[in-house]
Structure 1
Amino acid sequence: MTSPLIRQLIEEKGYPLLNEDNFNSFIKDQEFTVLFCTEQAHRFPESNDVAVILPELVKRFPELTPAIVAPEYEKKVQGRYNFTVWPSLVFLKEGRYLGAISKVQDWDIYLAEIPSILALEPRRDPGIGIPVVVNPVQSACGQ
């Protein structure tokens, strides 16, 4: 279950809760999105800290549209954006991946990293997997 601080972001601040049904349409409609992936706050108490920090980051960077990823959809988002540590903030531009910041960071790190992330060119979703490389040179074994 979601912690009271995370529920407050949804219920009082109006941050959308994204799931399989609304995820793709939401992220494509925003210029810059910051996704808050919390996992289970009782297992990862830093999620509560980030729940307090995120509204302050949105005040500092008003171009960001925040959203909470629904607990039942977080593993798919984790696979799509290939972060390994909880909690994570994933930054997107028009639905395309820019970067992520995981765990709680010092305020100065957020202030330095977020502008750098937002200045990046969007790239393909990192996803989990091994890139396929085609070898144009064919050779037979033992030759």
Structure 2
Amino acid sequence: MSHPLIERLTSEFGWPVLDTEHDIREFGSLPGTHVFFCPGDPKRNLESADVAVILPELKLAFQGKFDCAVVGAGVETALREATGVLKTPSLIFYRDGQFLAGIPKVRNWDDYMNRIAQILAMPTPQPA
């Protein structure tokens, strides 16, 4: 991670860091909706720190309708490739173990609010 604003998500807010594919499967399979934060390389992509500040505010705005985790660098690429959400930073939404949608790059507040409301209203896909 190596950026204080990203590390704050785990140290201050207690969000888990998902460092293995097993971690991702386990967290994503818990009941409810989950946001996987894929920060990318915060040294190369300055937007990563922006999203690290925005995401806790989004979680608060949606009043607990989803929980969050930070995806570790070692498994981030595989998760992004598996979901087709290739740009970083990205927010990847899962519900009950099933991929819902992703929001790549930093967005303005209204875009986040509208898109997340749409994602939360989506039916859960049936497992393949």
In the superposition, the TM-score normalised over structure 1's length comes to 0.82
- Alpha-carbon deviation of 1:85? 1.1
**Equivalent residue, structure 2, for 1:115:** 117
2:67 to 56, 65, 68: 65
In structure 1, runs of 5+ residues without a counterpart are 126-143
- Alpha-carbon deviation of 1:102? 0.9
- Alpha-carbon deviation of 1:124? 7.1
- Alpha-carbon deviation of 1:79? 1.4
**Correspondence list, 1:1-143, <5 A:** 1-20=1-20, 21-61=22-62, 62-123=64-125
In structure 2, runs of 5+ residues without a counterpart are none
Q: Which is worse superposed, 114-123 or 82-91?
A: 114-123
Q: What is the percentage of aligned positions where both structures have the same residue?
A: 36
- Alpha-carbon deviation of 1:19? 2.1
Aligned length: 125
CA RMSD in angstroms, aligned pairs only: 1.5
- CA radius of gyration, larger in: 1
In the superposition, the TM-score normalised over structure 2's length comes to 0.91
- Alpha-carbon deviation of 1:26? 1.3
